[in-house]
Amino acid sequence: MLDLLPHLVTWRPAASGQRCAVATVVGTSGSVPRPVGTSMLVSDAGEVLGSLSGGCIEGAVVESALEALRDGGTRREFFGYSAEDAFAAGLTCGGGLEIHIEPLGPGPGRLRLESLNGLARRRPGSGAALIRRVDAGGSGAVVVADPPAFQAVQSAELAALLGAELPGAEPSGAPGPGGASRMLLAAAAQLEPLLRGGRTGLVRLASAGDCRPEPVSLLVESRLPAPRLLIFGANDFGAALLPAAKLLGFHVTLCDARPAFAQQDRFSAADEIATAWPHRYLADQVGAGRTDSRTAICVLTHDPKFDVPLLQAALGLDVAYVGAMGSRRSHSARIDALRRTGVAERDLARLHSPIGLDLGAVTPEEVAVSIAAEIVANRSRSAGLAQGSVSLKDASGPIHHYAPTDHDSSAGIPVRQEVPWT
């Protein structure tokens, strides 16, 4: 749902206040085009924002969404491949999608279009999260403006969504949490890592003595402020990497010690431009708390007086990616210089140099594609997903890789968790 927010403010039905329903992928099996959390909005006039499958099932989902708007109820639909009925709505890729459909609008705890519009109008790149009830018959949502600071056990809205009570607030007045509050505490243990990690996941709260037809299910979508990409080197390669990094959702900073180079118009797409010695700038950013485990660092200066002190500092940080441009010969000389400064072998092994995937890149634009591809591949390997960077036509197995556990990257990869709360 959060992926639709940038487009919501210009979508005519939302701007005019039309009634809408949201259809969301809450379960997958086999090969599917989009992961858990993917959503599509449908207005009561049949207008659509978003896509769930690229076209295979959208028509049937729209019909179900219009029915939900007419009767006001939520529903779950399953779409899979049907070899018997060639005209059935299904996925030609052979997988299956479970779709939760819920009308937006007034009602206790219901997700409202006004709340989504409010999130959409916030500063681009700021954090936000949604916690939605998506089990059979379940509905409603909690909007979270600051995911890292959210305290689940203190949220009356979350307690109401679960039909639970805040710890210590049982009608009996008995000390300690009762069953409902234990459910809230168990939800907190699962929700907060997703919220703080900027990830998407389905959390099921199962109880051995629960008579409900299925566990309470919560879909958590969390987005943190954009991760940073620090590009060191105001040159042709830095200029080409800027738009590629923006396309991947990074907040991009270009840094160069030479004002005449850094202040060229071709770098104006950067979110920030810094004129400073690279290693000193990086130290200032670390000291200000502006780097984290999602940060990527690309050293494109190709000059030992800049590269060596910068890489010495960068390789000692907990960041997602450190890459440096240069030939194999310059890389070897750089490694020797870093060893002399005392950089440990385990840290040297983290350095991506020569930078980029081997795509046969020559021009600055091609090199930018290879660097961006390596950052994506490195992120996937960190999540235990992609095992090699080869052409899809020469590979086998799944095309789409989604994390099976909550080990993840910054990219909002979906997670499915099921935990008992008693």
Domain annotation covers residue 383 = no
> Domain check: are 87 and 127 in the same one?
no
Query: How many helices (H) and strands (E) would you count in the chain?
Result: 13, 16
Domain annotation covers residue 114 = no
Write down which residue in 316, 337, 355 finishes a domain: 355
> Domain check: are 250 and 349 in the same one?
yes
Per-residue DSSP letters for 329-389?
HHHHHHHHHHHHTT--HHHHTTEE-S-S--S---SHHHHHHHHHHHHHHHHHHHTT-----
Q: Which of 171, 196, 186 is nearest to 216 (CA)?
A: 186
Domain annotation covers residue 387 = no
> Domain check: are 99 and 126 in the same one?
no
Cis peptide bond N-terminal to 35, omega within 30: no
pLDDT value for 168: 58
Q: What share of the chain has pLDDT > 90, as a percent?
A: 46
Joined tokens for residue 259: 């004002």
Domain annotation covers residue 310 = yes
- Mean pLDDT for the chain overall: 82
> Domain check: are 314 and 416 in the same one?
no
> Domain check: are 240 and 326 in the same one?
yes
Q: Are 137 and 212 in contact (CB under 8 A)?
A: no
Its domain, for residue 143, covers 122-225+403-422
> Domain check: are 327 and 248 in the same one?
yes
Domain annotation covers residue 147 = yes
pLDDT tens, 5-46?
888 888 998 888 889 999 999 988 877 777 888 999 999 999
Number of domains in the chain: 3
80 or 261: which leads in pLDDT: 261
pLDDT tens, 270-301?
999 999 999 999 999 999 999 999 999 999 99
Domain annotation covers residue 377 = no
* DSSP code of residue 305: H
Question: Which residue type does 334 have?
Answer: R
Domain annotation covers residue 117 = no
> Domain check: are 235 and 346 in the same one?
yes
Sorted by sequence, the CB contacts under 8 Å of residue 333 that are 6+ apart come out as 304
In this structure, what CATH number is given to the domain that contains residue 341? 3.40.50.720
